[in-house]
Amino acid sequence: MKKILAYILSSIYYLYFGFLLAVFHITQMIAWNLWGYKAQKKVVDLLNYLIIKGFVILGTRVKFRGFEKVPEGKPLIIISNHQSQWDIPPIVWGFRKFYPKFISKIELGKGIPSISYNLRKSGSALIDRKDRVQAIKEIIKLGRHIEEKRYSASIFPEGTRSRDGRVKRFKSGGISTLLKTAPSAVIVPFAIDSNYKLHGKGFPMGIGVKVTYTVLDPIDREGKTPEQIADEAENIIKKQLGKL
């Protein structure tokens, strides 16, 4: 019975999600062309809020914690574990005051209503994983952008999603480039808990899941190598998730 219910509720949620992407794609375009980036960003914030609120359709309980720890007035490097495609909305909404940008594979920059448009217009880094030079240039541009504007950059150092919730080894390459190009940025670990259960096998989604998004204590970057920072972020997040 639960599996049948999961198929029914997942169908309803995906219809809701598709409707949001279609409507907000048009809304983003109007906002961008009439009023510019900040108006378009407010549209994106609302879109991601509604994506999260819609989880109620699946019986999902959502909790945000620790955002009072985020320092204001400085650029941020948000280091997070990666569990599913649903990891993006809580970062966009939770860190909305800090204008979060993403390091994303270049393929996502086209073909997906709302999402591709926002990646192109927001200043996120669209990287070609087969072209290391291009990828580094994009991340350098992103680092300089957040340093200048006091925005934030979100990075998933695992590189790929963990479909069982286990935290994979954090790679330091992207972190290293951001540290060099955003020297005043604060390192903020962000733990995503149970989004892999929500994602399930893609369809049907998990129902009745409790998901938690937690900002952990910022990492002191002074005197530490990118490798040490990556290791520290990995261990802090693992501890929060009970995966050490």
Based on the structure, what is the number of domains in the chain? 1
**Other beta carbons less than 10 A from residue 112's beta carbon:** 14
Q: What is the pTM of this model?
A: 0.96
Residue whose C-alpha is closest to residue 76's, from 213, 223, 178, 176 = 178
Structural domain range at position 190: 2-241
Q: Rounded to a whole number, what is the distance in angstroms from the first to the last CA of the chain?
A: 35
The answer to whether the CB of 189 falls within 8 A of the CB of 239 is no
Instruction: Encode the chain (244 residues) as per-residue pLDDT tens digits.
Output: 889 999 999 999 999 999 999 999 999 999 999 999 999 999 999 999 999 999 999 999 999 999 999 999 999 999 999 999 999 999 999 999 999 999 999 999 999 999 999 999 999 999 998 999 999 999 999 999 999 999 999 999 998 898 899 999 999 999 999 999 999 999 999 999 999 999 988 899 999 999 999 999 999 999 999 999 999 999 999 999 998 7
**Alpha helices per DSSP H over 75-223:** 88-94, 115-122, 132-149, 173-181, 195-199
| Domain CATH number, residue 202 | 3.40.1130
